Structure formats: structure tokens, C-alpha cells
Copies of this chain bind each other. A is one copy, B any other.
């Protein structure tokens, strides 16, 4: 790491001197601004290379003296996970302030494409950067592309709109998340032995049309088909992430499925599943795997109702969103490796 012959830290001024140009010219080259001849530019670049110059971020930030407005579009009301996202944004207030970033959380009906599209249409001019919990819907794609065309830096958050021209997606690979859930269920149930008939697996999902849930079901199904063909998957039931609905659905599932051995919930509202099982005296006897760490799922992990959770860290996601938007608006590079959001597996024993 001893990569600089310390004769006092290297500044742009040193580079300018070494290249025989003025500070301003060196600055133009380093920041890729126009108005410099080919040869002067290469002289400066050569000096940058030779001296190993890197601009001091703090000084650049101070001198730029620009402030930014970011908007974060989240589903209104909503579930614990989204509330956590909002809380983490507020918890980052100092980070934002220290970078002259004003953040506004905009709550809207994300599940209604028209409403969401209309909301997005009103954003240019109000914000320099926008993070949105998106829908994979043609109207949303257009709305996002319009935002991008209006010069707004756009990233999707948690739920992607991959066909849009958003600059970045902050969230997990939901197919991988579903596969992970599938492997956990399959392995936890164990290999069939002797005359073991396998059994049925119930699938509770939020809605058939949400991309993230669909991807999870898809990944789950992949693993089940490939690796655990002796297990039967029931037709997914839709509880719209609502504990009450989930409870009713699971009650019926229990009644209708004598060989039920496991339940996979692709979304929120896991607590309803736990309640239905407890009522039937089946808690801990039927294997449950769900998503996201919340007070409710934490409790059910600790009491054994749920065996494992597949999760994404909302804190990481918010910090990543902040870094990425800031990098995008201020023209810095984003370090992909650092911004990868992991699919986490949480058992009772590695609860954070």
C-alpha cells in the first residue's frame, strides 16, 4: 500500500505544475470537461498517471457547493418491510445532510400502475434523483423512461422494472431468493426414505401479478422440480400479504391437505400462517419458510414456527440507494461489487 512517495499529499496543483498547465486546465482534463486540446489533455493525463493522482473527494464536494433533492417513492401504508425502509431513510438523515442532500419520501399506491405513473410524471423539476419501488408494467416503464429523459437519475428499489432505462436496481435477485427458499424446504424435509411418500407443500403468495413474488415462486419451483420431485407443490394461494387473509387461506389449506408437510410464503403476512398453524396444533410440525425479518417473523423464528427466513437487509438497501443516487448525480463511478444486495438466510441462530 506504500504507493505514494510521500512528499506531502498530492494535489491537482502538483499535477498542473508537472504538466506545465494551469490549475483550471488540469481540472478540466481530470473531470473530462470540454475545451482542452488533445495534446494538453494527454500531457495532463500523463502527469496524473505518473504521479498517481486521485482527487480528494471532500474538497470536490465542498467546492461544487451544489445541493441535491432526492425523492423516494414507496407504497403507501404498507407492510413492515416498507416501513423499515422508510425508517432507515430517516436514520440516514445525517448522511444526507452532510452531503447537502434533501430527501423526501413520497407515499403512493404503488400497486396501481396508473396512479404510480401519474406520480412519477410529476417528479421532474422537483428532484435530481429518484428511487422508486417499481412495478414491472409497460406504463411504469414509460414513466421511468420519461423521468430519465428529463434528466433525473432513477434507480429502482426492492422491486425492479428491468425493461426500463433505470440506471440501477437496488434489491435482490428474487429468483435466487426463491431457489434458496426451495433448497431450504427440500433439505429440511430430508430425502425420502423407504416408503416415505413425500408430501405436499403449500405456497402462499401476495399477488399473482407482482414480479418479485412471481420470480420467487419461479425459483422455488425450479429447485423443487429439479431436486425434490417427490414433493408435491399445491397451487399458490393469494393472500395479498395480509395476515388475516393468509390465516384463512392456511386454515383451509390444512383442512384440505392431509399430507401437508411445509408452507412457503413468498411475501409478507407470515404471522397469519403461524396463527393458523398454532390453532390447529401444527406449529413446528409443519415446516415454514418465509421472507424478510420483522418483529413478527423474528418471534416465529425464535419459537420455531418458522424454520428459516430468506431476507434482504433494508439498511443495506437504503445505504446502497443513497450511495448510488449520489454517485449518479455527482458523476462518480459506482462500485458494483459493493452495491450487490445479498440474499440472506436467517435461522434462529444467526439472527442479527
Say whether B345 contacts A1, CB under 8 Å. Answer: no
Say whether A348 contacts B183, CB under 8 Å. Answer: yes
Encoded as 1 (CB less than 8 Å from any B CB) or 0, chain A from 326 to 352 comes to 000000000001101011111111101
CA distance A349 to B181 in the complex (A): 9
A residues 1-51 touching B (CB-CB < 8 Å) = 1-4, 6, 9
List of B residues within 8 angstroms of A94 by Cβ: 54
List of B residues within 8 angstroms of A338 by Cβ: 315, 319
Say whether A57 contacts B99, CB under 8 Å. Answer: yes
CA distance A310 to B349 in the complex (A): 11
CB distance from A168 to the nearest CB of B (A): 17
CB distance from A95 to the nearest CB of B (A): 9
Say whether B350 contacts A337, CB under 8 Å. Answer: no
A56 with B67: in contact, given A176-B349, A345-B345 (CB under 8 Å)?
A: no
CA distance A319 to B339 in the complex (A): 13
Choose, from A100-108, A136-144, A205-213, A234-242, the stretch at the interface: A100-108
Choose, from A76-84, A127-135, A152-160, A186-194, the stretch at the interface: A186-194
CB distance from A125 to the nearest CB of B (A): 16
A54 with B97: in contact, given A188-B187, A223-B349, A345-B345 (CB under 8 Å)?
A: yes
CA distance A352 to B180 in the complex (A): 12
In chain B, what residue has the closest Cβ to A345?
Answer: B345
List of B residues within 8 angstroms of A348 by Cβ: 183
Interface flag for A98 (CB, 8 Å): yes
Choose, from A58-66, A114-122, A248-256, the stretch at the interface: A58-66
Interface flag for A89 (CB, 8 Å): yes
Say whether B179 contacts A349, CB under 8 Å. Answer: yes
Given contacts A1-B104, A2-B104, A4-B102, 19 further A-B contacts (CB under 8 A): A1-B105, A9-B100, A54-B97, A54-B98, A55-B98, A56-B62, A56-B97, A56-B98, A57-B98, A58-B59, A176-B350, A180-B349, A180-B350, A187-B188, A190-B190, A343-B349, A343-B350, A344-B345, A345-B350
Say whether B349 contacts A337, CB under 8 Å. Answer: no
In chain B, what residue has the closest Cβ to A340?
Answer: B352
List of B residues within 8 angstroms of A187 by Cβ: 187-188, 307
Say whether B183 contacts A98, CB under 8 Å. Answer: no
CA distance A180 to B102 in the complex (A): 41
CA distance A307 to B93 in the complex (A): 41
CA distance A189 to B190 in the complex (A): 7
List of B residues within 8 angstroms of A54 by Cβ: 94, 97-98
